[in-house]
Amino acid sequence: MQISGLDYLVFGVDDLVGAQRYLEDFGLAPVDQDETGGLYEALDGTGIILRKRDDPRLPEALSTRSMLRQQVLGVRDASAIDAIEAELAKDRRVTRLADGSIEFRDPLGFNLKVQITRRRPLDLPAEKINAPGAPAQRAANEIGVWEDMPARPRSLSHVVLFVPDMDKIVAFYTGRLGFRITDVLTGAGPFLRPAANDDHHTHFFIRTPEYMQGCEHLAFHMGGPTELMVAGSRFTRKGYQSFWGPGRHKFGSNWFWYFNSPLGCHVEYDADMDKHDDSWVAREAPSGPEASQIFLLQWREKWAPGGGPEGK
């Protein structure tokens, strides 16, 4: 099952205008916008499809209040879709759409679609750093930061789901869709990557009661930690609410910065995630502040020393 990752996440929201403004301010580019919503793209064409909660084109909602309506997974070619259809049709309904994509539900009722990926290849440099002992990555006179430097999300990275039955969903994603478990936070759940994607995770599952089933957060890759902090600082200054970060996770090594959103879940900037292949042996650590991050920082208004003692 050669799944390459997430192409889109589809949401049905209550506050469409607020959510549209939010995703644009987050740094995604609106495509095909009208009063019913549209697609919000990262630089590689992956992104968020926004609609009103009651839009008849949306797949059926979960019975909880979750606004996540569908995960759209990409594969390289039609034969990969055929292989997934043949496997899943053994025990569930698989709907073939006119464009050749297929739709189905996982055992917990999350709606999925598999299509030939629309992800565009990116040709952009990673953040470049200079360090003693290593060749300089930036040429002489090439500066590292400037006030209006670009800091736009490059690619849809991962989705985190609240799941009421961990055994069922893990068996489905690993056994039927070919995902690998990269690491496990005991007490929360596993990180997973699909066979045709070497990122540490495109999915992470967190065990919850049934009434919480839904989306915990989604994340976009940035070009590096500086872009992540520039984008997060700009977003904060526009009035958006930081939830957790900036910081750097241990499992995956990715930098993170999470924000509240009108999508019923957090939306995250991430950067510099580990890559893995099938020789990797999953680690396990108890879920909690120690295992979750190597360090955690908090945004504050710009400040500089100066001005002399208080009251002088």
Name the residue nearer to another protein (CB basis): 224 or 262: 262
Shortest Cβ 255–another protein spacing (Å): 19
Q: How far is the CB of 143 from another protein (least distance, A)?
A: 32
Decide: 13 and 51 in contact? Cβ < 8 Å: yes
Choice between 15 and 77, CB closer to another protein: 15
Pick 240 or 280: Cβ nearer another protein: 240
CA distance linking residue 227 with residue 270, whole number of Å:
10
**What token pair was written down for 126?**
């990673």
In the complex, the residues that contact another protein under the rule CB under 8 A are: 13-15, 18, 22, 53, 64-67, 162, 208, 211-212, 214, 216, 238-241, 243-244, 259-262, 264-266, 289
| Cα–Cα separations (whole angstroms), residue 80 to 85, 138, 263 | 9, 41, 31
CB of 257 to another protein, least distance (A): 14
**Would you give the DSSP letter of residue 172?**
I
The set of residues, in sequence order, having a beta carbon less than 8 Å from that of 309 and lying 6+ positions away, is none
Least spacing, CB of residue 210 vs another protein, in Å: 11
Q: With contact defined as beta carbons under 8 Å apart, do 58 and 51 qualify?
A: yes
**CA–CA gap between residue 292 and residue 280 (Å, rounded):** 20
Burial 132-143 (b: 16+ CB within 10 A, else e): eeeeeeeeeeee
Q: Give the side-chain half-sphere CA count within 13 A for 214.
A: 18
Calculate the dihedral angle through the C-alpha atoms of 112, 48, 126, 303, rounding to the nearest 10 degrees.
-130
Pick 172 or 220: Cβ nearer another protein: 220
84/185 with CB nearer another protein: 185
**Least distance CB 64 / another protein (angstroms):** 8
Query: Please, which residue, 36 or 241, has the CB nearer to another protein?
Result: 241
Contact indicator for 204, 158 with CB cutoff of 8 Å: yes
Q: Smallest distance, Å, CB 308 to another protein?
A: 20
- Kindly state the smallest distance separating residue 281's Cβ from another protein, in Å: 31
- In the complex, the smallest distance separating the C-beta of residue 253 from another protein, rounded to whole angstroms, is 22
Using alpha carbons, list the distances in angstroms from residue 197 to 1, 30, 118, 165, 203.
11, 26, 15, 25, 11
Token code pair at residue 255: 């930098």
Which residues on neighbouring strands pair with residue 34, listed in sequence order?
37
